[in-house]
C-alpha cells in the first residue's frame, strides 16, 4: 500500500507544472476577537467538517500564520536572525501549494489531493486543509546541527501558535501533529535535501 501511495504522490508532483497559482485576497487585519479571549478559547480539535474555508478565510489564516506585517518584509512570527527559514505548504483537496508570503500567493507544488499523506490519523483526509511546516536549513546562519534543530522547532511553534489563536478567534478546529511519513511527503512535494518537515497542522470547521 505504501508503494502505491508514494507512486501516486510522485505522479501528482510531476503534474504541478500544469497548475496555476492562486492569488490570495488581501487579508483582513482589523477583525478577530481580543487576544485574551482568543487565548481563553484556544484548544485542540480533531473532528472536522468537510466544508471548505472561504477564500477570505484562507487568506486571513495564512497571513496570521506567517504573513508579512511590516513594509520591511518582516513577518507575524519571529525567526532567528530574521532568516525566515520555515516554509508553509498547503494541502487542499485539489492540489498542494507553497505559501509565498511576499506576494501573499499560493504557488503550485503538486496536483491532486495529498491530504491523506500528511498524517497517519483518519481525520487528516477530512480536514479541508493541512499545513505542512518545512524548515530550510540552507537559510540558517548556524552550522550547528543542534542549533538548527532548536531554531526549526521554535519557529514552527511560533507559527503554529499563531494558527491556533486565529482558529480560536474564528471558531475553527485545529491540531498540530508529528505523526507523518516525512520521507514520502517530502518526495511528493519535491523538497530539497536541505528542507525538512517539522510538523503538520490540520485546520477546518469543527464537525457538529
Backbone angles phi and psi of 16, in degrees to 5: -60, -30
Residue 202 pLDDT more than 90?
Answer: yes
CATH class of domain segment(s) 2-204: alpha beta
How far is the C-alpha of 137 from the C-alpha of 94, rounded, in Å? 29
- Cβ-based neighbour number of residue 13 at 10 Å: 19
pLDDT in tens, 33-59: 999 999 999 999 999 999 999 999 999
pLDDT in tens, 71-104: 999 999 999 889 999 999 999 999 999 999 999 9
Give the residues across from 200 on adjacent strands: 132, 177
Asked whether 177 and 157 are in contact (CB, 8 A), the reply is: no
Amino acid at each position: 500500500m505504501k508503494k502505491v501511495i508514494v507512486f501516486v504522490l510522485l505522479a501528482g508532483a510531476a503534474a504541478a507544472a500544469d497548475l496555476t497559482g492562486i492569488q490570495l485576497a488581501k487579508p483582513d487585519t482589523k477583525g478577530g476577537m481580543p487576544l485574551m479571549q482568543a487565548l481563553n478559547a484556544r484548544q485542540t480539535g480533531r473532528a472536522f467538517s468537510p466544508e471548505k474555508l472561504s477564500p477570505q478565510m484562507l487568506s486571513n489564516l495564512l497571513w496570521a500564520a506567517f504573513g508579512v506585517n511590516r513594509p520591511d518584509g518582516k513577518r507575524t512570527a519571529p525567526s532567528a536572525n530574521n532568516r525566515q527559514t520555515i516554509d508553509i505548504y498547503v494541502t487542499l483537496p485539489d492540489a498542494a501549494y507553497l505559501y509565498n508570503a511576499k506576494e501573499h500567493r499560493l504557488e503550485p507544488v503538486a496536483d491532486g489531493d495529498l491530504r491523506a499523506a500528511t498524517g497517519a490519523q483518519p481525520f487528516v483526509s477530512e480536514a479541508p486543509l493541512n499545513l505542512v511546516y518545512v524548515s530550510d536549513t540552507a537559510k540558517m546562519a548556524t552550522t550547528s546541527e543542534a542549533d538548527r534543530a532548536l531554531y526549526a522547532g521554535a519557529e514552527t511553534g511560533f507559527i503554529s501558535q499563531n494558527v491556533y489563536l486565529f482558529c480560536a478567534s474564528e471558531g475553527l478546529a485545529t491540531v498540530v501533529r508529528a505523526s507523518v511519513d516525512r520521507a514520502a511527503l517530502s518526495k511528493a512535494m519535491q523538497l530539497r535535501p536541505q528542507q525538512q518537515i517539522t510538523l503538520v497542522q490540520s485546520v477546518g470547521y469543527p464537525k457538529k
